[in-house]
Structure 1
Amino acid sequence: MPYRNGNYCAFYVSEPFSESNLGASSTKDFVTYNLLRAWKAADSTFPFIDSHEKNYNVRDGSDWEKTLKPRLHQRLDNSKNIILVLSSITKNSRALREEIDYGINTKGLPVIVIYPDYSEKSDIASANGIKKQVKDLWDLLPKFRDSMSSVATFHVPYKKNLIRSALNDTDFMVNTMGKASAYYYSI
């Protein structure tokens, strides 16, 4: 059994993807992923362990079935959870569908959902639960929307201290996952 200590970050970028492409670096979802990496680089105690750094990088010209998909699976196999970046620009790409399907439905990984469009707890939830504006974003990724009831999901605004707390929460790690449900910070 692999050592599952990484955080697998799933995010949308337009395809074909190139990290060196300025267009990718200006995409809200990719910027959020890069900020997690920057927080870790600046503060070694920030609890983000990037599963994307755990095996060989892939290029968009690589074969999907022979190279890309197996590498995604390998990274997810070594992860304790998925960090899903979900914003108004997220699209239902082949890679995101595969990451979510394999991560949730095959590996049973809990999901911490970061919403770059929202920075406050009150943007995510009210006294009545998760807000409609957030639930509407789930429709952008039907595989996530339809699979999320199988694992614990934590819906987190785009705020460093709340993201840090979510990453440290053992209820959102595969070996210690809490009950399958949608969680959020109460207001």
Structure 2
Amino acid sequence: MTYRNGNYSAFYVSEPFSQSNLGAAATKDFSSYNILKAWKAADSSFPFNDSHNKNYNVRDESDWEKTLKPRLHDRLNNSKNIILFLSSITKNSKALREEMNFGMKISGLPVIVVYPEYSNKSDIVDYSSNIIKDEIKNLWDKLPAFRDSMSDVPTIHIPYKKDLIRQALNDKDFMVNSKCSANVYFYKQ
């Protein structure tokens, strides 16, 4: 049995992707991932264990079927959850579809959905009715593989706020070996 202790970060970048490309670094979703890494570098107690550091780097010029997809699967198989950065710039890329389909449907990974364009819980949830706001639900349509797999695993929806991301990363309900029932969750006001 594999020890699943990583956090797999899923984010949109335009394809072809190159970490050294300034365009990728300027992409909102990729920048959000880089901030997670910076928080961990500045504070070793920050509970982010980057699954992307678990095996060899991938390069865009690598073969999708022989190299890229197997490495994504390996990283997902060694992860306890997925951190999905979902924003207005997110597009339904081949990599994101594969990450969501394999991670949620095959590996059963809970998803911590972080919305980089929102900073308050009330931006995500209408607390008068305790339901996720329509503008957030509309973002789900940008990534049908995610939207259509939400009934398979628990998903927690949070704004881009360090203390809430820390709380979600520490939350046993959103880890594969102790996950709660499949549903849409958010932290109460």
Q: Tell me the TM-score normalised to structure 1 length.
A: 0.99
Considering only aligned residues, what root-mean-square deviation do their CA atoms show, in Å? 0.5
Q: Superposed, which structure 2 residues align to 1:32-181 within 5 Å? A: 32-127=32-127, 128=129, 129-181=131-183
Is residue 18 of structure 2 the alignment partner of residue 18 of structure 1?
A: yes
Distance 1:2 1:12 in 2: 27
Q: Describe the superposition over 1:7-28 as per-residue Cα deviations: whole angstroms up to 9, x where unpaired.
A: 0000000011110111100000
SS at match of 1:69: helix
Runs of 4+ in 1 over 2 A off after TM superposition: none
The residue identity in structure 1 corresponding to 2:65 is E
8 Å contact kept, 1:118–1:157? yes
Moved more, 105-114 or 123-132: 123-132
Decide which structure has greater helix share: 1
Work out the CA distance in 2 between the residues paired with 1:57 and 1:109. Answer: 22
> Which residue identity does 2:71 align to in structure 1?
R
Between the aligned partners of 2:82 and 2:121, the Cα distance in structure 1 is 20
Q: CA deviation at 1:176?
A: 0.1
Q: Indicate the residue corresponding to 1:7 in structure 2.
A: 7
> Within 2, Cα distance between the matches of 1:58 and 1:104?
21
- Aligned partners of 1:125 and 1:185 also within 8 Å: no
Q: Is the 8 A contact 1:124 1:131 kept in 2?
A: yes
Amino acid at match of 1:106: I
Deviation string for 1:54-104 (max 9, x for gaps)?
Answer: 000010000000000000000000000000000000000000000000000
User: Which letter maps to 2:103?
Assistant: G
Partner SS for 2:158: strand
The number of residues matched between the two structures is 187
Matched position secondary structure for 2:173: helix
TM-score, normalising length: structure 2: 0.98
The gaps in structure 2 that reach 5 residues or longer are: none
User: What is the CA distance between 1:126 and its match in structure 2?
Assistant: 1.2
The alignment partner of 1:150 has SS state of coil
CA drift at 1:2: 1.1
Q: Whole-Å Cα distance in 1 between the matches of residues 117 and 186 of structure 2?
A: 16
